[in-house]
Chains A and B, each alone.
Chain A
């Protein structure tokens, strides 16, 4: 898979390159500033981009803005945004426009290599990878919401993992249950929240995220 990386800290940039190249990714370009990012993404059309939110010259949310701009020019361009902190506001901005193929993770999630690589592959495959912190906040916002209050504790757990963008198989692995049990839970969740059932993993995640963010 071809990857473009945007990260201004040399240490982290080299770390990311090493980590990805060790797992059969090809890093086609690694940029260290905002203005260079959009052209690099549009030019290389990578299978996935891994982008830091804060980049020179402004050291604000340059990376996020560039990612959104590149996705405007190349619809569906897979982008995984990394950040030292997560903000609901930024998660929403990434998700608007829909279509999936976006990720938003805390930087320290990279340290869990297997999970990080899974997130990168998921985003490259058109899925989503939302940080558990983002989802946790989203669920907390919805605690006083009637339909969500009707979910069993296990269903809430499944809802959280699903919102992060995990597949049924991954959820089953995380909760030590069978895939069949998971799909039963997801069906219950969808009927309780009054969402149209969908077999497509991506569409399902989007529906859940949209539902959670709409209030």
Chain B
């Protein structure tokens, strides 16, 4: 069973007919933006006489809110999200905020955008809307002439000539031409506005790098924490489990050794006990090892390990794997645990009877899809299993998307960057 789904990552899109109205709205907003521009430009020099500071405290957040609204609108026009480029003040405090804000290029780019948008953006959006409105106007012109009193609608082009109901039909081609021009250019003009806006509202290259550094620091800190927590857990498990059992075992053996001549029956009983505690210690160690790095992953790589995992699940799991080679060990391990966790989630919450796992590699990314026919309603909640996978993948710049309508089916789509050049081509290890 193959199910191909694209992760929904494109922002909301407008229907085609909404376009002229969006454009009209943007044109009006562009003129409102002049007010923001003027207020900002007035406030900055006034900082010298302190009045500017409270003014800026009000105007800057307002401007940023206004710009953020436009970032969302532009993103829905172009389909490409625009990240917020603002710097966060490193410390609390008014002066720190002021300093960060005034030295942040994004602040000045916002102000520049207000001006550009009021001139260029306004022109483009108005053109984008006007042809549509004109085509409507001229297509219903005869009707307007007919329903209105004489002399109201009789001069279609501002007094070039006069028409009556019969001759007014001659302007309909003008309406058609306007409509065609709008069809050809309306969307393009709106997109052009959005791209111009994006060039000023989007982060500069250095801001983009700063954002990236912030993301990386966060995910690195998280990874280090997770690693440390894992090590603590392993240490605790070893200490309380296998280690304690082996201590008890050697005590038992010592007692048996001492007793073997005096009381053979008692010694035999102690030996049986020792054997049992050894078995339990081994089984605990087995589980621990599986949690660290499943042996079958070491033996057979991702492909074999996922197949083995599918076989050990109590419901049917269809596995489709199409990988040109073995990913590097860390990626392999992350991918394996992601699949294991997603399946464990399905087992715990979904009451599924069938699940499917797909692994493929395209465009320098490892794509992992885990689906089940259970009850659905799966979400990524902090502390939940899916959240854990998401954090684990984030360390590799991987992503996780869940599509799980109530009533199912649930699909968990995961992606990990994995360069083709890093794939190890091994001879097929399948023996059967």
Q: Which A residues are within 8 Å of any B CB, using their own CB?
A: 54, 59-61, 64-65, 68-69, 84-85, 87-90, 92-93, 96, 106-108, 111-112, 137, 140-141, 143-144, 215
In the complex, the answer to whether A140 meets B314 with C-beta atoms within 8 Å is: yes
Additional A-B contact list (13), CB under 8 Å, known A64-B431, A96-B432, A141-B315: A54-B299, A60-B300, A84-B295, A85-B295, A87-B308, A88-B308, A88-B311, A89-B300, A92-B432, A108-B283, A111-B279, A112-B275, A137-B312
Query: Which residues of chain B have C-beta atoms less than 8 A from A106's C-beta?
Result: 282
Contacts of B275 in A (CB 8 A): 111-112
> Whole-angstrom distance from the CB of A191 to the nearest CB of chain B?
25
Give chain B nearest CB distance to A206 CB in angstroms: 16
Separation of A116 and B286 alpha carbons in the complex (Å) = 20
The contact sample of 5 A-B pairs, CB cut-off 8 A, is: A88-B308, A89-B308, A92-B311, A111-B279, A215-B316
Contact, CB under 8 Å: A68 / B316: no
Task: For B321, list chain A residues within 8 Å (CB).
Answer: none
In the bound complex, what is the Cα–Cα distance between A142 and B409 (angstroms)? 22
A143 interface neighbour in B279, B289, B314, Cβ under 8 Å = B314
Residues of chain B contacted by A89 (CB below 8 angstroms): 296, 300, 304, 307-308, 311
Bound Cα distance A85, B298 (Å):
13
Nearest A-chain residue to B311, judged by Cβ:
A88
Given the interface pairs A93-B431, A144-B315, A215-B316, the reply to whether A108 lies near B282 with Cβ below 8 Å is: yes
The answer for the CA separation of A144 and B316 in the assembled complex, in Å, is 10
Spell out B's residues near A (CB within 8 Å). Answer: 275, 278-279, 282-283, 286, 289-290, 295-296, 298-300, 304, 307-308, 311-316, 353, 429, 431-432
Across the interface, name the chain B residue whose C-beta is closest to A72: B431
CA distance A141 to B310 in the complex (A): 10
Q: Contact at A68–B290, with CB atoms within 8 Å?
A: no
Instruction: Select one of B283, B299, B316 contacting A61, CB under 8 A.
Output: B299
Question: Which residues in A have their C-beta under 8 angstroms from that of B307?
Answer: 89
Once the chains are docked, how many angstroms separate the CA of A144 from the CA of B374?
Answer: 14
Residues of A within 8 A of B283 (CB): 108
- Expressed in whole angstroms, the Cα–Cα distance for A108 and B280 within the complex equals 9
**A87 contacts B316, CB within 8 Å?**
no
Q: Are B286 and A84 in contact (CB under 8 A)?
A: yes
Complex alpha-carbon distance, A175 and B292, angstroms: 38
Q: Which residue of A lies closest to B275 (CB)?
A: A111
Q: Which residues of A contact B289 (CB under 8 A)?
A: 84-85
Closest B-chain residue to A59, C-beta based? Answer: B298
Q: Considering the chains assembled together, what is the distance between the CA atoms of A92 and B300 in angstroms?
A: 15
Minimum distance in angstroms from A119 CB to a CB of chain B: 16
- Residues of B near A85 (CB, < 8 A) are 286, 289-290, 295
Cα of A215 to Cα of B298 in the assembled complex, Å: 26
Partner of A68, one of B286, B315, B431: B431
Q: Are B295 and A93 in contact (CB under 8 A)?
A: no
Q: Kindly list chain B residues whose C-beta atoms are within 8 Å of the C-beta of A108.
A: 278-279, 282-283
- Chain A's closest residue to B274 (CB) is A111
B residues less than 8 Å from A68 (CB atoms): 431-432
Determine the chain B residues whose CB is within 8 A of the CB of A84 once the complex forms: 282, 286, 289, 295
A137's nearest neighbour on chain B, judged by CB, is B312
A112 contacts which chain B residues (CB < 8 A)? Answer: 275
Residue of A88, A106, A140 with most partner-chain B CB within 10 A: A88
Specify the chain A residue showing the minimal Cβ separation from B308: A89
Choose among B279, B290, B312 the residue that contacts A88 (Cβ–Cβ < 8 A).
B312
| B308, chain A: closest CB distance, angstroms | 4
* Docked pose: A137 CA to B286 CA in angstroms: 16
Compute how far the CA of A69 lies from the CA of B431 in the bound complex, rounded to whole angstroms: 9
> Does B295 contact A141, Cβ atoms closer than 8 Å?
no
Which 6 pairs of residues, A with B, have the shortest CB-CB distance? A88-B311, A89-B308, A93-B432, A60-B299, A61-B299, A140-B314
B294 nearest in chain A by CB position: A85
Residues of B within 8 A of A143 (CB): 314
Question: How far is the CB of B417 from the nearest CB of chain A, in Å?
Answer: 27
A207-B380 Cα distance, complex, nearest whole Å: 44
Q: How far is the CA of A150 from the CA of B4 in the complex (A)?
A: 37
Contact B431 A65 (CB under 8 A): yes
CA distance A90 to B327 in the complex (A): 22
CB distance from B249 to the nearest CB of A (A): 11
Chain B residues within an 8 Å CB radius of A107: 282
Complex formed: what's the CA distance from A65 to B429 in Å? 9
Query: What are the residues of chain A within 8 A of B432 when measuring CB–CB?
Result: 68, 92-93, 96
Considering the chains assembled together, what is the distance between the CA atoms of A140 and B316 in angstroms? 11
